């Protein structure tokens, strides 16, 4: 009978799934050289912001590494990487301002002078820090804590995906009508759904937990569908066409950084609760999702601030219009 164990063994086999990115990445590079117009001549290579990319990578890694490795390495010296990472990111900002004067910087900092873009990018970063780690700790909670099978754990998170996909299709059509309030409404739904999942875990017996969390996760998914795509649209709406590519790339990078930061922070809180409570998985889930809700609140504050800013600007414009009309109606002096 053939063995049912993964090719690399039960302990490390799951890690091999990440190697699927290698052939895909290699194929993408080959296709990029063949299909993307232009070439990387010497002049193009000189304009690449390689040092900026290095600073950004080192800075983010310095902040995340202590959080990721906190359960394996308990040396307090490791936490010195956090202020070191912040310092490197400060150098990165200075470098980007210097490099951007003559070349195309990795991140065009002038984009953040546009309030709609700055608020939107902040919302994206905070929201991805909020919802990405929820699936990570929820799956661990179900499989390791409640001993669900991988299939059943996957089915348990499906309501979020269904709600998100359905709401995204609608949200993309109505975002131009409702604007940033739609994003704020979505964030409220996400917060309610995540809080509801905590309540379901606390009140419902183990074998029915997956069913009990279905409705809260569906609500959170509907909220998420009204956040990600609409926020992306609103964030890039006022960016000039020639800067759209760079602006979109910065938003995507911020979302990826937010995801990594969220997984690191929420994961650290989750595993610390498990270790502290000697396997108290429900407590770990509650504490981890509470941190995620905190990130949702940060995103919601940014969304509300942008709504207030837009309303204030609209009020100022409408207040000036009557004066202009009155001035225009005065008879010209002969």
Q: What is the CATH number of the domain that holds 262?
A: 1.20.1250.20
Whether 103 and 134 map to the same domain: the answer is: no
For the cut 80, the answer to whether the pLDDT of residue 264 exceeds it is: yes
Grade residue 89 by pLDDT with cuts at 50, 70 and 90.
very high
For the cut 70, the answer to whether the pLDDT of residue 2 exceeds it is: no
> Is residue 326 domain-resident?
no
Grade residue 63 by pLDDT with cuts at 50, 70 and 90.
confident
Whether 71 and 212 map to the same domain: the answer is: no
Whether 101 and 135 map to the same domain: the answer is: no
Provide the residue range defining the domain that includes 215. 113-311
**What total number of domains does the chain contain?**
2
The C-alpha atoms of residue 183 and residue 214 are separated, in whole angstroms, by: 23
Whether 230 and 120 map to the same domain: the answer is: yes
The answer to whether 60 and 85 have CB atoms below 8 angstroms apart is yes
For range 136-155, the mean pLDDT: 91
The C-alpha atoms of residue 266 and residue 78 are separated, in whole angstroms, by: 18
Give the global pTM. 0.79
For range 271-300, the mean pLDDT: 91
Share of the chain above pLDDT 70, in %: 85
Question: Residue 333 has what pLDDT?
Answer: 46
Grade residue 241 by pLDDT with cuts at 50, 70 and 90.
confident
The C-alpha atoms of residue 283 and residue 271 are separated, in whole angstroms, by: 10
Question: Residue 109 has what pLDDT?
Answer: 83
Whether 233 and 84 map to the same domain: the answer is: no
The answer to whether 198 and 286 have CB atoms below 8 angstroms apart is yes
Whether 64 and 176 map to the same domain: the answer is: no
CB atoms within 10 A of CB 226: 28
Q: Which tokens sit at 100? A: 């951007």
Write phi, then psi, for 52 (nearest 5 degrees): -65, -40
> Is residue 31 domain-resident?
no
Whether 163 and 205 map to the same domain: the answer is: yes
CB atoms within 10 A of CB 2: 4
Question: Residue 216 has what pLDDT?
Answer: 96
For the cut 70, the answer to whether the pLDDT of residue 327 exceeds it is: no
> Is residue 263 domain-resident?
yes
> Is residue 168 domain-resident?
yes
Whether 73 and 127 map to the same domain: the answer is: no
Grade residue 334 by pLDDT with cuts at 50, 70 and 90.
very low
For the cut 90, the answer to whether the pLDDT of residue 300 exceeds it is: yes
Whether 167 and 195 map to the same domain: the answer is: yes
Question: Residue 66 has what pLDDT?
Answer: 84
Whether 209 and 81 map to the same domain: the answer is: no
Question: Residue 237 has what pLDDT?
Answer: 87
Highest mean pLDDT of the ranges 9-13, 64-68, 70-74: 64-68
The C-alpha atoms of residue 281 and residue 153 are separated, in whole angstroms, by: 15
Q: Pick the more confident residue, 16 or 74.
A: 16
Range of weakest confidence among 160-169, 203-212, 279-288: 203-212
> Is residue 230 domain-resident?
yes
């Amino acid at each position: 009978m053939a063995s049912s164990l993964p090719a690399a063994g039960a302990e490390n086999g799951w890690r091999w799934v990440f190697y699927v990115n290698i052939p895909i990445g290699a194929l993408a590079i080959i296709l990029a050289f063949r299909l993307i117009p232009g070439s990387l001549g010497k002049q193009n290579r000189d304009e690449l912001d390689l040092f900026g990319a290095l600073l950004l990578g080192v800075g983010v890694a310095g902040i995340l590494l202590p959080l990721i490795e906190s359960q394996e390495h308990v040396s307090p010296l490791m936490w010195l990487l956090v202020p070191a990472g912040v310092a490197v990111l400060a150098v990165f900002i200075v470098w980007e301002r210097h490099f951007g004067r003559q070349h195309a910087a990795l991140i065009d900092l002038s984009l953040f002078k546009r309030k709609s873009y700055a608020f939107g990018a902040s919302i994206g970063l905070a929201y991805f820090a909020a919802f990405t780690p929820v699936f990570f700790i929820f799956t661990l909670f179900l499989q390791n804590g409640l001993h669900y099978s991988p299939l059943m754990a996957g089915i348990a998170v499906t309501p979020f995906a269904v709600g998100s996909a359905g709401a995204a299709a609608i949200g993309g059509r109505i975002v131009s009508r409702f604007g940033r309030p739609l994003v704020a409404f979505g964030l409220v739904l996400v917060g309610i759904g995540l809080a509801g999942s905590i309540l379901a875990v606390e009140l419902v017996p183990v074998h029915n937990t997956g069913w009990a969390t279905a409705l809260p996760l569906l609500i959170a998914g509907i909220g998420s569908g009204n956040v990600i795509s609409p926020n992306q649209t609103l964030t890039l709406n006022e960016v000039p066409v020639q800067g759209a590519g760079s602006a979109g790339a910065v938003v995507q990078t911020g979302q990826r950084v937010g995801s990594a930061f969220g997984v690191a922070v929420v994961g650290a809180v989750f595993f610390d609760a498990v270790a502290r409570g000697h396997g108290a998985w429900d407590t770990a889930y509650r504490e981890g999702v509470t941190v995620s809700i905190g990130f949702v609140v940060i995103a919601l504050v940014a969304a509300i601030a942008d709504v207030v800013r837009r309303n204030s600007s609209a009020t100022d414009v409408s207040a000036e219009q009557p004066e202009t009309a009155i001035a225009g109606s005065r008879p010209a002096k002969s």
